[in-house]
Amino acid sequence: MDNIAGTKSSLTWAVNISVIALALLWIMPTLGLFISSFRTADQIATSGWWKALFPSEQNLVLRADDPEGNRVERAGVYVVEGQLFEAGHSAEISAWGISSREISAYVPGETADLGDGETLTVQADGAYVWTGNADQLSGRGQRIFVTATTPPEFTTANYNRVLFSGSTTDGMANAFFNTLTVTIPATIIPIAIAAFAAYALAWMDFPGRGLLIAAIVGLLVVPLQLALIPLLKFHLGIGIGKGYLGTWMAHTGFGLPLAVYLLRNYMVGLPRDIIENAKVDGATDFQIFTRIILPLSFPALASFAIFQFLWTWNDLLVAKVFLIDATGETTVMTNQIVELLGTRGGNWEILATAAFVSIAVPLIVFFSMQRYLVRGLLAGSVK
């Protein structure tokens, strides 16, 4: 009967399972993206990312060394000896063949007869012996089809290509810095404005205050799509055109209602006595704001900063409308990924790497600030 009242509910297991399910739902795609970004295109094509830590079986097309310069004469026959796999790579061959129609005709150690006395022997570790007369061993090396089990392997080549190659089609480096250029001012400007507005709306007495608050609540539900075209026309009209300034202004405008609303609600919950005491102590409104309210509102400021940062970072629409012009110089990461989907639709390793580059910063921001996020949200609502 002790599960009827008290803090321990009999549904604890349901809560635990839901939490685990939610955590998995979030972690799985992120992890998949992360692991895929370190794999080669071949690995991605042959096995899922969850198999990345285990050896994988692949069909490879390899070539024996070209006879020119490599063949040696031994008792009247020419011989080319060598290793199919590059140095540093090891694999175990389970079957091999010499024709694309029969890629697993032979087992390792078997000798294939290529006709007229020409033979080829391939061992499990990739060592081969190719024998024949001078005519047969000339030109290019013999093609060998192998079915090999290769150990797990990770590469940073994708990151090299995406971040440091300087390529305009695959490169994310330029877009990364453009995104930062958009995001940082677009986070700081609205917070700076909203903090002042929130203090005035919370603690200063002036006519029309109630109406202003109601108007801000009303603005919360206005969709931003409504303002895109008029705003762009306005920007073009006053000569800002497409560019960072216009983007910052747009993000500021769209972010302000929520910022003012959240911060005002938080500030209004600060104890009245503290503010009155500061007034008795002789502080002006500005001093009260900077010395008392701002430090005490840090959790709320941080939580809104995280929100604004995340959603300007992930924004595509505003950037498309207000920033990205025909030259493509000012492209942001979200847009770059959209373009990669078009030009590199099949290259999952590039797409995964690009996507992970774009989510890495939000992840860092989130994990380093998440205690403020939770505290700020709670502090605003449960006072």
Q: Which residues bind other proteins (CB under 8 A)?
A: 271, 273-274, 276-283, 287, 291-292, 295-296
Query: In whole angstroms, how close is the CB of 287 to other proteins at the nearest point?
Result: 6
- Minimal distance in Å, beta carbon 288 to other proteins? 10
Least spacing, CB of residue 193 vs other proteins, in Å: 23
Query: In sequence order, which residues have a C-beta less than 8 Å from that of residue 33 and are 6 or more positions away?
Result: 352, 355, 356, 359
Helices (H) and strands (E) in the chain, counts: 14, 8
CA dist 237 to 41, 230, 243, 250, 296, Å?
A: 48, 10, 14, 15, 42
Q: What SS3 state is found at 346?
A: coil
Q: How far is the CB of 297 from other proteins (least distance, A)?
A: 10
For the CB of residue 296, give the shortest distance to other proteins in the complex, in Å: 6
DSSP-assigned beta bridge partners for residue 111: 121
The smaller minimum CB distance to other proteins, of residues 127 and 296, is found at 296
Closer residue to other proteins in complex, CB, 274/360: 274
Please state the closest distance from residue 285 (CB atom) to other proteins, in A: 11
Indicate the residue among 114 and 283 with the shorter CB distance to other proteins: 283
Sign of CA dihedral 292, 296, 300, 306: positive
CB 310 within 8 Å of CB 293: no
Q: Smaller CB distance to other proteins: residue 275 or 340?
A: 275
**In the complex, least distance from residue 298 CB atom to other proteins, rounded to whole angstroms:** 9
Rounded to a whole number, what is the largest CA-CA distance in the chain? Answer: 110
Backbone angles phi, psi at 8, to 5 degrees: -90, 110
Q: Which residues contact 157 (CB under 8 A, 6 or more apart)?
A: 40
Shortest reach from residue 281's CB to other proteins, in Å: 4
**Rounded Cα distance, 307 and 380, in Å:** 15
Those residues whose C-beta lies under 8 Å from the C-beta of residue 331, and which sit 6 or more positions away, are 174, 175, 178, 324, 339
- Based on CB atoms, which residue is closest to other proteins, 237 or 271? 271
Q: Given the complex with other proteins, which of 138 and 277 has the nearer CB atom?
A: 277
Q: Output 250 or 301, the one with its CB closest to other proteins.
A: 301
189 versus 292: smaller Cβ distance to other proteins: 292
**Which is nearer to other proteins, 22 or 378 (by Cβ)?**
378
To the nearest whole angstrom, how small is the minimum distance from the Cβ of residue 359 to other proteins? 34
**What SS3 string covers 143-187?**
EEEEEEEECCCCCCHHHHHHHHCCCCCCCCHHHHHHHHHHHHHHH
Whole-number minimum distance, CB 31 to other proteins, in Å? 40
HEC assignment per residue over 57-125: EEEEEEECCCCCCCCEEECCEEEEEEECCCCCCCCEEEEEECECCECCCECCCCEEEEECCEEEEECCC
* C-beta closer to other proteins: residue 279 or 344: 279
